[in-house]
Amino acid sequence: MEVKIGVQHTPREIVLESGQTAQEVERAVADALAGKAQLLSLTDDKGRKVLVPAERIAYVEIGEPATRRVGFGAL
Domains and CATH numbers, the chain: 2-62 (2.30.30)
Does the pLDDT of residue 70 top 90, yes or no? no
* Upper half-sphere CA count for residue 42 (Cβ side, 13 Å): 32
Average pLDDT, the chain: 89
CB 49 within 8 A of CB 43: yes
Residue of higher predicted confidence among 66 and 27: 27
CA atoms of 12 and 4, how far apart (whole Å): 10
- 35-51 confidence digits (pLDDT tens): 898 999 999 999 999 99
Region 7-19: what's the mean pLDDT? 94
| Res 52: pLDDT | 95
